Amino acid sequence: GAVVSQHPSRVICKSGTSVKIECRSLDFQATTMFWYRQFPKQSLMLMATSNEGSKATYEQGVEKDKFLINHASLTLSTLTVTSAHPEDSSFYICSAMSSGAEETGELFFGEGSRLTVL
Amino acid sequence: GNSVTQMEGPVTLSEEAFLTINCTYTATGYPSLFWYVQYPGEGLQLLLKATKADDKGSNKGFEATYRKETTSFHLEKGSVQVSDSAVYFCALSAPGGFKTIFGAGTRLFVKA
């Protein structure tokens, strides 16, 4: 099946620094990737939708300047948490939709990245 | 708008017990329906899916049938194992749409 790889799986950083999380589709081209945030024991909160070669579409309430998303190729999207603060600590998950899967909407998920900001 | 409602957890069962996790949805048109599973510390994995009414998705002993008349997609397994302990998310995706709507998730604990 389709594989999505997310890196790093865990990251600890100091307050005020920036952290980049990568999401790669390993064996398919992903025209659309999604970034979610998941709080403990809660569902996924969609942060933004990223399409290759264009600007990401952010959900209401998500700060664009805080969470920078770049989808530079059909296999890579990155999420950069800028000037991270402790309240940004969370589990971030990406998912990808392969070309041709738009009709069913099936998603392939990365393993998730746990960010801890000290 | 579209929405997904699934039973609250946690659900605690003994090994080999029968599992049902209820899921109902609200959507216009004919969405695709999914069950995703999340094991501790991991991302989500597709467990099964159904793309049209009366379809039955099945995988690893789990089943769910797309019931348009009751707008439901209940997850069932005849005999659960300890390794099935995880969080299960019901989800829908509208045709041609790119935004998947997730339920709140149901945590399942299976005791040996």
The tens digit of pLDDT for each residue in A10-50 reads 999 999 999 999 999 998 888 889 999 998 878 889 999 99
% pLDDT > 90, chain B: 79
Nearest chain B residue to A31 by CA: give it: B98
Q: Pick from B106, B63, B85, B82: which is nearest to B16 by CA?
A: B82
Q: Over range B2-11, report the average pLDDT.
A: 91
pLDDT tens-digit profile of B67-89?
Answer: 999 999 999 999 999 999 999 99
pLDDT digits (tens, 9 = 90+) for B26-65: 998 889 999 999 998 888 899 999 999 999 999 999 999 9
User: N- to C-terminal Cα distance for chain A?
Assistant: 37
Report pLDDT for B2: 85
List residues of chain B with CB under 8 Å from any CB of chain A: 31-32, 34, 36, 41-46, 49, 51, 89, 92-100, 102-105, 107
Interface A-B: count of C-beta contacts within 8 A: 66
pLDDT digits 0-9 by tens, A45-100: 999 999 888 889 999 999 999 999 998 888 999 999 999 999 999 999 999 987 76
Predicted local distance difference test score (pLDDT) of residue B97:
60
Record the tokens describing residue A12, joined without a space.
């600890």
- Which of B36, B41, B99 lies at the smallest CB-CB distance from A46? B99
3-state SS, residue A82: coil
Split at pLDDT 50, 70, 90, the class of A115 is: very high
* Chain A, window 1-60: residues with a beta carbon less than 8 angstroms from a chain B beta carbon: 4, 6, 32, 34, 41-44, 46, 49
